[in-house]
Amino acid sequence: MSDEKIRQIAFYGKGGIGKSTTSQNTLAAMAEVGQRILIVGCDPKADSTRLILHTKAQTTVLHLAAERGAVEDLELDEVVLQGFRGIKCVESGGPEPGVGCAGRGIITAINFLEENGAYSNVDFVSYDVLGDVVCGGFAMPIREGKAQEIYIVTSGEMMAMYAANNIARGILKYAHSGGVRLGGLICNSRKTDREDELITTLANRLSTQMIHFVPRDNIVQHAELRRMTVNEYAPDSNQANEYRILADKVINNQNMAIPTPIEMDELEALLIEFGILESDEEKEKLVGVSKAEEEAAKKQEDAQGEALEAVKKGNVEIVSGRDKK
């Protein structure tokens, strides 16, 4: 298959949102229907392939390169492993915490894979990318035009939506020069109020779609404990079917958009509208209530103190119930 026919996609999202879990389950479902997949993990945690390979963490390109002395000394079959349904897996890796740029590992890994023919005989190349910060290295799949379709994993939580908007801003920056497009938002549900409606509204504001709402189900965690995708662990479950629906939507997605990221004020207004954030008026009311309660408590405390002082000075006689009789 020629490179022109390969669809290069990327999953971005805030750390902890379930991006790697969602991407691996979706890609496993795509492989079930015959799609040939290569996963390139671009997260320093190196957890982008563990459910496919049934392992803790795949040895990364940077780690192996450090052992050998240079990335040029590596062989392709040392860094590309096959897992569930023949999915090919690579982890780019990163340096020790606090030393160097983790994004550089992505650049090094992708260049090595391209030069050594890793992209041959695949239908989809999928980049799993940390999305809290879209810095130069982490933006590499977008900036260099490697990934043409971006899927943002988010939820109805404030910081997940904030990250999604920031990622959309990064996509917009390179949309005209690199041709990258936003394929949609994937809502990985956290069961917040009106979550489906909220993410649909956010998607509309960003000029994209909520491509799928993935319901929350503990079976995902049960599968993860066994280092498996839901599709492999419980293929007949409702959750496995949700990932199959999402996979089909990705395969057939024609809705590629240049995003229109919104300003922080508009995002906050949206969060207020859906009850995620409190408005200034509500905050003032709460502050007013809390001040009134504080003043009442202070008055009561002062009154109790004055009464106790009066007793100590003998100005008040304490009468027991027996004396009353």
Active-site residue, 299 included: no
On whether 14 is known to bind a ligand per the annotation, the reply is: yes
Rounded CA-CA distance 140/135 in Å is 8
Active-site annotation holder among 3, 5, 14, 248: 14
On whether 105 is known to bind a ligand per the annotation, the reply is: no
On whether 136 is known to bind a ligand per the annotation, the reply is: no
Active-site residue, 191 included: no
Active-site residue, 323 included: no
On whether 16 is known to bind a ligand per the annotation, the reply is: yes
On whether 92 is known to bind a ligand per the annotation, the reply is: no
Active-site annotation holder among 123, 132, 196, 217: 132
HEC per residue, the chain: CCHHHCEEEEEEECCCCCHHHHHHHHHHHHHHCCCCEEEEEECCCCCCCHHHHCCCCCCCHHHHHHHHCCHHHCCHHHHCEECHHHCEEEECCCCCCCCCCCHHHHHHHHHHHHHCCCCCCCCEEEEEEECCCCCCCCCHHHHCCCCCEEEEEECCCHHHHHHHHHHHHHHHHHHHHHCCEEEEEEEECCCCCCHHHHHHHHHHHCCCCEEEEECCCCHHHHHHHCCCCHHHHCCCCHHHHHHHHHHHHHHCCCCCECCCCCCHHHHHHHHHHCCCCCCHHHHHHHHHHHHHHHHHHHHHHHHHHHHHHHHHHCCCCCCCHHHHC
Active-site residue, 302 included: no
Active-site annotation holder among 19, 88, 146, 249: 19
On whether 187 is known to bind a ligand per the annotation, the reply is: no
On whether 89 is known to bind a ligand per the annotation, the reply is: no
Give the residue ranges of the annotated binding site. Answer: 13-20, 101, 135
Residue positions in the annotated binding site for ATP? Answer: 13-20
Binding residue numbers for [4Fe-4S] cluster: 101, 135
Which residues are part of the catalytic machinery?
14, 19, 45, 132
